[in-house]
Structure 1
Amino acid sequence: MKKGNKNELFNFGKGWGTIIFCLLMFWFYAGMVNDSSNVVAPAVAEKLGIPAGNVLNMGTVAAMVGVIFFFVMGAVNRKIGPRVTSFICLILGGVGYFGMGHANSLAQYAISLCICTIGCMSAGYISGGAFVAQWFPKKKGIVMGYTTMGHNMSTGFFVPLITMLVARMGVTNAVVFPVILIVILAFVGLVFMRNTPQERGINPDNVSDEEYRNEYFNEEIDEDGGWTVKKLFSKKTFWLVAVASGGFQFVSTIIITQLVVRNQEVGFTQAQALTIMTILAFAGIVGSWIIGAMDQKLGTKKTMIFFGIWYAVALLLEVTEKRPLVIVFLIMFALALGGSANFTTSLPAAVFGRHGFKKVNSVLFPIQALVSSFGFCVNGNVLNATGNLRMSYVIAAIASIVVVVIVLFINEHQYNRDFMTESEAEAFTKELQK
């Protein structure tokens, strides 16, 4: 592979539009599904007169229900492409978020959260993952570093925004403005996005025609790359990738969905906790880029191993509940904030490549989502059982180490045709056709 392709961190040409669109989809996903639980969930609990832990547990219910629909949205994405699928999903996300704020019962909130989760997660990860895999097959590490900045920007801007709106207007009216914004993004994507770079007249990774011919697998194969659900399920690597990439999301879900609450538990005021979230967000933007650059330079596997150890150390510092060590945790967490989302696409794209990625991701992403969804369940049950979230962080630290162990057994480019020789790619294609 040419050095220019492998190490380029900024030259994406027309691909910048795709990167920004995916970043904004992540902004709404993180804001509406994860970060909002810091503000909307307690506000809904107060409105309904029920324990906050009961409302938080609906996040796990929504994600588990979503698993079924993620298979459906993955199939839709394969049939009509990520441009139209993202439009549908963003509209669903807006409808669900509107319903969350207007819910008059826990059941109504749960149903609305299910719709919001299905829509926003499918937009960010299923459609967004397909965009990234097709547009940036060998630069997906650094590209995910850019797109996952949306998570950090959500923490910095969405949480203060929704906090202000809830305080001034109440949760019912507060959700309307974000809903208007996500609908606007849906129509912008429908008009301006394209499923592949070839539709914009450029090659994947914005490389030259010569480099594309020499360094990429260009033979015609079927849309699914030869993969079927049965073949994927039969591969040990498939399960390792699904659990490992979902595992870091599980850890991040535990932390970010109740970070304001947890920071108040260790002695910060609500105002200080919200300020910390904003500071973390800006630091996390840098952290996302660093993780993406590491992924691009060192490879996804080595970066994940480093990331998991870093995460575990940070969490163990936090559970001491000593203010200086908590501050160190916050700094370490800020740099890691966008990293876990990076790996949900980067690892599958590294292992399976762009050929048939929509098929692979349609099967793999629901499993990732199921694994990550247990973060809501952990927080809800720990909060109800102990009255605080300290034990959640212990569980998260253990989970980080488990993910590191799993990653050690993954062959990073095992099924990626762009990293195979011509004869290896032909042999692999024939193997899948059997």
Structure 2
Amino acid sequence: MGAHGTLGGSQATPPNKKKTGANNFGGWGWSMIGFSLLMYYNFAAWTADGLNVIVESFVDLHGWDYATLLAFSTPAGWLGVLGSFLIAEMINRKGARLVAVGGLVCLGATMIWFGRVTTPMEYAIGLTLINFLATGTCFNVPGTLLTTWFPRKKGLALGWATMGMSLCTATLVPLMVMLFSRFGVQDTYAVVGGVLIVFGIVSFFWVRNTPEELGCSPDNEQLSKEAMAENLREFNEHKSPFTLPVLLRDRDMWLISVGYGVLWLVDIGVVSQLIPRLISVGYDKQTAIMMFTTAALFCAIFSYFWGWADVKFGTRRTSIAYAFFFAATHACLLVRGSDTFTYFTLLMVGASIAGIKELATSQVGSVYGRYDFAAANRVISTIACLFRVMCFAVIAASLKWTGDFDAAYIFFIFLDFVGAVLIFFITTECKGRVDANDAGYAH
């Protein structure tokens, strides 16, 4: 991997291209990053963070059993993985823009209906549809979009955009509580659904699949009009050779899927149970929630750091360092120390959970390039998501057999090293098609 995280080969700048600063994404480029940040916010909101208030809101509204509703979250998450594959396949065929529009409108309509379900079974169906649409649309669209717009600077672009997940963790619960207080449960879901539908409609006018469609160039570097026209023609006519059979036989596909999948497993394993863990070591619930918010804010800051490191040192090297850093974080979580040490651990947690989505997406782009990203990502994201939802089984086994989280954290340390080893063997060359006018990529 080159010094600036590009796809192998020479770093020379072609005569028709003038390089720009790392954070010089251009006006339209920053706009795509902002759109992606909102998409990642919604992914985190309706597949993870929202469960902190969704279940309880229906218990309060209908008096249903909390444990029963909570049990629906696991199968809904698994079916959300199916959504990730099916909608990623649609992105591969139709492009990110149209999928964003359709997915957000459907998600909004589902949310409006979800607020008015009258039986636990309807609740389960609604939760499944929400996971299906949020995982498939809000998870896959921004990664595809930013990798296409910023093949060289994707690390930094994703670093900015994935802050949306951290901001969701810090703000969603108080926001939803405020809306429930003002509008009631049913109308709150209607308000949220309406906002999502508007967001989807606006996306039709806002989003473009490639910068060339707007007369811009990838990475906001200065290309000739002829070069941009050639890029756009290639992009529109390209048929990826990475079919399902080819990908399933591809060594790097499995290394990326499993290597980053286990790191995502430990990531969700920590963030989803951080409040119960803090309570288990003696902190009251309100203090634990405040600490959790603190970790989320650290996460937002370090999202940029991992993106910067990605561009500076290369995705593969940064990911290996990230895996070792996460192992140190899990070791800290095993220690019952002073308040000062606990806040140090929260800093480590915030820094650790920040990197996985940016690095995993960037690695797919590094290996398969902007033209073949969507084809490869439909399989890789699905397998990685399968590992992500396994974290709850690991936590449950630890609690059942040992009565605390320590066994899970020890197992997570083992997985951190497994992830680092697998990532080490990922190729440093781009295997996908690249722009014909770009001498900075390996073919």
State the TM-score, normalized to the length of structure 1. 0.86
Q: How does 1:279-358 map to 2 (within 5 A)?
A: 279-324=294-339, 325-358=341-374
Selected match of 2:391 from 375, 382, 387: 375
Q: What's the secondary structure of 1:354's corresponding residue? A: helix
Q: Distance in 1 between matches of 2:226 and 2:413?
A: 42
1:179–1:9 CA distance, 2 compared to 1 (3 A): same
1:326–1:103 CA distance, 2 compared to 1 (3 A): farther
Q: Distance in 2 between matches of 1:165 and 1:229?
A: 44
Aligned to 1:154: 168
1:11–1:192 CA distance, 2 compared to 1 (3 A): closer
1:420–1:307 CA distance, 2 compared to 1 (3 A): farther
Aligned to 1:259: 274
Are the equivalent residues in 2 in contact too, given 1:217–1:417 (CA < 8 A)?
no
1:37–1:423 CA distance, 2 compared to 1 (3 A): closer
Q: Distance in 1 between matches of 2:219 and 2:196?
A: 28
Q: How does 1:382-397 map to 2 (within 5 A)?
A: 382=398, 388-397=404-413
Deviates more, 1:102-111 or 1:337-346: 102-111
Q: What letter corresponds to residue 228 of structure 1 in structure 2? A: T
Q: Distance in 2 between matches of 1:57 and 1:173?
A: 25
Does 1:110 pair with 2:124? Answer: yes
Does 1:198 pair with 2:215? Answer: no
Are the equivalent residues in 1 in contact too, given 2:105–2:201 (CA < 8 A)?
no
Deviates more, 1:173-182 or 1:184-193: 173-182
1:68–1:413 CA distance, 2 compared to 1 (3 A): same
Q: What letter corresponds to residue 346 of structure 2 in structure 1? A: L
Query: Structure 1, residues 83-135: CA drift from partner, whole Å, max 9, x if none?
Result: 11012222333345456655555543332222112211222332212211211
Q: Distance in 2 between matches of 1:101 and 1:395?
A: 39
Query: Structure 1, residues 41-75: CA drift from partner, whole Å, max 9, x if none?
Result: 45556742243xx6555443223223333332122
Are the equivalent residues in 2 in contact too, given 1:245–1:347 (CA < 8 A)?
no
Q: Distance in 2 between matches of 1:212 and 1:225?
A: 23
Q: What's the secondary structure of 2:371's corresponding residue? A: coil
Selected match of 2:37 from 12, 15, 23: 23
| 1:144 Cα offset (Å) | 0.6
Deviates more, 1:105-114 or 1:291-300: 105-114
Deviates more, 1:162-171 or 1:186-195: 162-171
Aligned to 1:431: none
1:201–1:425 CA distance, 2 compared to 1 (3 A): closer
Deviates more, 1:173-182 or 1:341-350: 173-182
Calculate percent identity across the aligned residue pairs.
25
Q: Distance in 2 between matches of 1:16 and 1:423?
A: 25
1:315–1:164 CA distance, 2 compared to 1 (3 A): farther
Q: What's the secondary structure of 1:209's corresponding residue? A: coil
Deviates more, 1:315-324 or 1:143-152: 315-324
Are the equivalent residues in 1 in contact too, given 2:329–2:352 (CA < 8 A)?
no
Q: What's the secondary structure of 2:198's corresponding residue? A: helix
Selected match of 2:262 from 235, 247, 272: 247
Are the equivalent residues in 2 in contact too, given 1:240–1:407 (CA < 8 A)?
yes
1:183–1:407 CA distance, 2 compared to 1 (3 A): same
Does 1:405 pair with 2:421? Answer: yes
Q: Distance in 1 between matches of 2:403 and 2:117?
A: 26
Aligned to 1:37: 51
1:422–1:131 CA distance, 2 compared to 1 (3 A): closer
Q: Distance in 1 between matches of 2:416 and 2:44?
A: 20
Aligned to 1:123: 137
| 1:269 Cα offset (Å) | 2.4
CA RMSD of aligned residues (A): 3.3
Q: Distance in 1 between matches of 2:348 and 2:83?
A: 35
1:41–1:253 CA distance, 2 compared to 1 (3 A): farther
| 1:380 Cα offset (Å) | 4.9
Deviates more, 1:279-288 or 1:319-328: 319-328
The count of aligned residue pairs is 424
Aligned to 1:223: 238
Q: What letter corresponds to residue 371 of structure 1 in structure 2? A: F
Q: Distance in 1 between matches of 2:20 and 2:240?
A: 24
Q: What letter corresponds to residue 411 of structure 1 in structure 2? A: T
1:264–1:389 CA distance, 2 compared to 1 (3 A): same
Q: Distance in 2 between matches of 1:138 and 1:333?
A: 28
Deviates more, 1:325-334 or 1:146-155: 325-334
Whose helix proportion is higher, 1 or 2? 1
Q: What's the secondary structure of 1:267's corresponding residue? A: coil
Q: What letter corresponds to residue 415 of structure 1 in structure 2? A: K
Deviates more, 1:304-313 or 1:100-109: 100-109
Q: Distance in 2 between matches of 1:278 and 1:101?
A: 27
Q: What letter corresponds to residue 410 of structure 1 in structure 2? A: I
| 1:356 Cα offset (Å) | 2.0
Which segments of 5 or more consecutive residues in structure 1 lack a partner in the other structure? 429-434
Which segments of 5 or more consecutive residues in structure 2 lack a partner in the other structure? 1-10
